[in-house]
Amino acid sequence: MKAHKLGDSMRPAKAVDLETRVTDEDHQALKLWLRLLACTNLVETDVRGRLRTEFGITLPRFDLMAQLERNPDGLKMNELSQRLMVSGGNVTGLTDQLEKEGLVVRMDDPEDRRAYTIKLTPAGRALFGRMAAVHERWVIELLSGLNATEKSQVYRLLAKLKLHLVSATQGQT
């Protein structure tokens, strides 16, 4: 396949993502943004497909279970909505599905009769443990194109970028 030079790496000549439209004349910040987005999309698409194939579960359901696994006492629906950055309606739909499958339980909140706390059931905790272990192996495999030193460098640089972005966007909606 014919390839074009982009920075210090090769990319296919056929347009496969937003980054392929970048030219040498484009601003370096734009190139970086599109490269980050392309990498994120590639990893997310692969993980979504594997979760569906291996476990018959969607990424949003996996993410909801991950939040609950990190919070064994459970989370209120609005907390889940904030953490997942989705609407309350989305969380309700995901919770309904997981509850029907016996993976989460909805409990009345004693302090607020209008609110529910969602917790993983023992079956949900066991399934999530299996999925999380496999998910970790997938991510390790997907990022194996970088050696340990390169991963550390990218991690440090992205931490610096994240701090700048938090500062630059504070107070913006």
State pLDDT tens for residues 52-90.
999 999 999 999 999 999 999 999 999 999 999 988 889
Residue 7 in any domain: the answer is no
What confidence score (pLDDT) does residue 1 get? 36
CATH number of the domain to which 82 belongs? 1.10.10.10
- Calculate the alpha carbon distances from 1 to 21, 27, 38 in Å: 17, 27, 20
Mean pLDDT of the region 111-121: 89
Q: Domain of 107?
A: 59-128
Asked if the model's pLDDT at residue 46 lies above 80, the reply is yes
Q: Are 19 and 37 in contact (CB under 8 A)?
A: yes
User: Does residue 105 form part of some domain?
Assistant: yes
pLDDT computed for residue 14 by the predictor: 53
Q: Please state, in angstroms and rounded to a whole number, the distance separating the CA atoms of residues 24 and 69.
A: 45
For residue 85, tell me if it sits in a domain.
yes
